[in-house]
Structure 1
């Protein structure tokens, strides 16, 4: 079931949006590029990125998901959202937990950012020593851990 993304955002300033996207019961994870000019090079990351223009948080995330993995956010069920201080730079970011059917894996078209993608159990992401720590913390908060 698709969820309406009318925003609780309220128009305040923000820098970007990220999503823990479940395909069935596994998380879609992206391996960041391994470049010295980015934060957390080579780390496990979630889809999302920086705001462009006057996008809303949902529009930012929808664009980033299309660019990075070719999936349409509007098809996802929204389970949770919350704003946080940025993980990689100062500023406000929105974090979402979304779910799509496992079959959406067949529709993934990996973009030109990052080294690749994989699906993993949430416990594996939470235990991974090479995951972006702030994303692990946000996923733990959502799970109530």
Structure 2
């Protein structure tokens, strides 16, 4: 599914670094979905991108990280959050400490941090659908 071309709305990626997950605090703007919530890197599909092309572009724009397909360990399609008629893709991957230390945060969101997995799965300020998807991975 990583390099397959099909209709999907976007991709979110749980990037693990030394047992924690990389999170982004969304802007606190009332007009966006889930303002001021902890999110995962990723976003909407552009043109005819594959899921990997989409997530690689988004992660580069948001964090200045260049992903390789080998970093992706798990992929699953879900019903879309913003548009339930669309498919969205959820991925899990690994991030080296050196890549985390080299992050240059973009202009979307208030900041980023590594969050313990248990905190991500239980915090009331994390997007609930992303918690559910990460639970699927943890249980798999």
* TM-score, length-scaled by structure 2: 0.93
Matched with 1:40 is 34
Matched with 1:101 is 96
| Runs of 4+ that moved beyond 4 A | none
* 1:23–1:104 contact (8 Å) kept in structure 2: no
- Judged with a 3 Å threshold, the aligned counterparts in structure 2 of structure 1 residues 6 and 57 are, in CA distance, closer, same or farther, namely closer
Whole-angstrom distance in 1 between the partners of 2:75 and 2:2 = 12
Matched with 1:50 is 44
SS at structure 2 position matched to 1:73: coil
* 1:66–1:72 contact (8 Å) kept in structure 2: yes
Whole-angstrom distance in 2 between the partners of 1:120 and 1:6 = 25
Matched with 2:123 is 128
Whole-angstrom distance in 2 between the partners of 1:54 and 1:61 = 13
- Judged with a 3 Å threshold, the aligned counterparts in structure 2 of structure 1 residues 25 and 35 are, in CA distance, closer, same or farther, namely same
- CA deviation digits over 1:56-107, x for unaligned, max 9? 1110100000000111111752210001111223311110000022222111
How many pairs were matched up? 139
* TM-score, length-scaled by structure 1: 0.90
Gaps (5+ residues) in structure 2?
A: none
Q: What is the RMSD computed on CA atoms of the aligned residues?
A: 1.6
Gaps (5+ residues) in structure 1?
A: none
* Residue correspondence of structure 1 range 1-145 to structure 2 within 5 A: 7=3, 9=4, 11-74=5-68, 77-90=71-84, 91-144=86-139
